Structure 1
């Protein structure tokens, strides 16, 4: 009995010692672990802090009625993917890795996507975009056995300007490039984004691929998507707060207004030479009308045939009236009205077919009255619960017509490329 009591005392003492040692180890590790978890949970860019509310993760019900059929859901997810592209660069700058406290993965994991590729600017090593692909394994773990209707196989997400010292210089350099030339083709980011988009479009088919961007990233997405459309690959595009201001556009608008004013002035001036007789004038007029009609009819049918043979690329534009960077996309194309007043309709009409009826975009406008610029230009507004949008089926804005008109004036060989690649 005494021996048993001693053994019980020893066992109890050893147990207490082991528990005390474990408590010391846990006590030494707990503060750091708790700090990491608190930082991840309470960080202003954490998904559970600033992300969308009441957005369901894909589940087996999506096999019956896919959430991706809802345009609001799709807009929300695309905005989240762009936020992930921003956070990939911030994670890099602040030395957060994907295994511990990285913020970016939380913005694509709930939607059953995975990171496939990061797009890196070779000038400063910064991350400016990411390719996200449908994660089949994660989906099957939640009994989503097949990809629901409307879910893209891959998404290319491009961030905008980050006012952080490691990447601010190159971001502003591209901002100024667009502001001056209204083109981003000279940037290394344009080439890298085009190659990445072309690769996934050829791998999965253009109908299963999306490109999305915000601010400067939306400018890249628009021009990269247009370049790929010229090759016959039409991808779904979602552009948030795309830039609409440039020096080239301002000079072009000034030139157009000056030309319209000059034509109006000429129409009010008396002709140089009075006609000798009315009969001669009538003959010349009828001859001009006949020749004009003959020259216009074939060109009209050529344009119509060309328009019918080409698939339209219609990007989705999300703009805010209070954002002076993107608000000019809401200006409607009034070129047809001005041209109809000038009299020479025979030569003007084919151009109207190209610029107005072909080039268009699905425009969604957020308008809450007067807002501060940072709020009106922010990405988080596009997954906000109280967002109110004014939408148009296909909006023929003047600016989108100018930016996409080259897409429909190119040669008609593009659709053949699409068939070969898909």
Structure 2
């Protein structure tokens, strides 16, 4: 009996672990997890940009944000952070081992707001703001010229079990209707963009997105532009493929064939004259509202919303943006397009020039901060952008005021 009691006591002592040993084991576990996260493929130092430095006191004189490559890179990093915010949420990461903050902290920004999809609780967007305290710690006394006070970043489709259903729903919405206005994400993104624009001023705010997120960024930016609020907009691999666009293209081609057929038929002398008069009247009215809306053409650019598009010809999702506008035009349409030229060319289209690439590489976000990237600024009109921005310039006829020339 005594022997059994001694064995039982010995076993109980073994089961009762030393608190010091427990603490050391926990620290070792945390260290092991931290080491694993340190080498995570999405860690900033692993897959982030190599040649981008954080703001420093020299930026007080010559801001890095004035460099278009730097700006594009940093904004793309903010979008990557939104993808990682959702992955951090799904993988239950804590503040100590979260991946997302490393993608905004080096640039002296902080997380101000996360946008949550009420349907599944997923994070689809975030607002990052200039972190004055972090900047002051590195002797950056003021915000560098060109650096936005706030950036609304929107992620694209995330093929994970917790988010794929709602992401695909919005993908199909765009595919069917070429519009995302019915989505709860559109409403949330628009409210967030209006909020920060009202707080900081539209000239100090930027909206950006990748893939599906670029579709949302384009449409919320356009919605504000219709209200006369022009926000700096950057769209990476924006979706361009839709059934609505395909059907519209078929209709346009049918219209061209019909016009050619009509032109072959003998017409009375009155019909062409009437048509010419109608065309001239239309062009005159067009020139009137262009002049009324824009005033002096030398100041056109400063009065327009000019989104920046970054596309890759090997990416079939966004490659339609590189289709040139007005390949076949009648003389009347050429005259009309001359009047619209300054209105329609309202986007900067940058095309990746790396030759043929696999789809996943061509559609990826990482390419936009890679060291070996080569961009070309497309100078031709984008047919798709002209169509999407057309409603911005379809203004009502100006009201004539007595004593004033229009």
TM over 0.5: yes
Quote the offset at 1:140 in angstroms.
0.3
1:334 correspondence with 2:317: no
Query: Structure 1: where are the runs of 5+ without partners?
Result: 1-20, 274-280, 414-422
Quote the offset at 1:370 in angstroms.
1.4
Quote the offset at 1:232 in angstroms.
1.1
In structure 2, the CA distance between the partners of 1:297 and 1:247, relative to structure 1 (3 Å rule), is same
In structure 2, the CA distance between the partners of 1:295 and 1:181, relative to structure 1 (3 Å rule), is closer
C-alpha RMSD of the superposition: 2.4
1:162 correspondence with 2:133: no
Corresponding residue SS for 2:89: helix
Asked whether the equivalents of residues 354 and 409 of structure 1 are also in contact (C-alpha less than 8 Å), the reply is: no
The equivalent of 1:40 in structure 2 is 37
The equivalent of 1:404 in structure 2 is 389
**1:152 aligned to which of 148, 152, 157:** 148
TM-score by length of 1: 0.83
Corresponding residue SS for 2:173: helix
Quote the offset at 1:302 in angstroms.
2.9
**2:204 aligned to which of 203, 208, 217:** 208
1:182 correspondence with 2:178: yes
Q: How many residues align?
A: 376
The equivalent of 2:107 in structure 1 is 111
**1:371 aligned to which of 344, 347, 357:** 357
TM-score by length of 2: 0.87
1:269 correspondence with 2:265: yes
Larger Rg: 1
Quote the offset at 1:321 in angstroms.
0.8
**1:380 aligned to which of 353, 356, 366:** 366
In structure 2, the CA distance between the partners of 1:71 and 1:258, relative to structure 1 (3 Å rule), is same
In structure 2, the CA distance between the partners of 1:298 and 1:91, relative to structure 1 (3 Å rule), is closer
The equivalent of 2:50 in structure 1 is 53
Per-residue Cα deviation, 1:290-331 (whole angstroms, up to 9, x for no partner) = 676466434432333224387211100000010000001011
Alignment of 1:348-367 (within 5 A): 349-350=335-336, 353-354=339-340, 357-367=343-353
Asked whether the equivalents of residues 124 and 170 of structure 1 are also in contact (C-alpha less than 8 Å), the reply is: yes
1:124 correspondence with 2:120: yes
Corresponding residue SS for 1:133: strand
Query: Structure 2: where are the runs of 5+ without partners?
Result: 1-17, 399-406
Asked whether the equivalents of residues 152 and 207 of structure 2 are also in contact (C-alpha less than 8 Å), the reply is: yes
1:306 correspondence with 2:293: yes
Asked whether the equivalents of residues 306 and 412 of structure 1 are also in contact (C-alpha less than 8 Å), the reply is: no
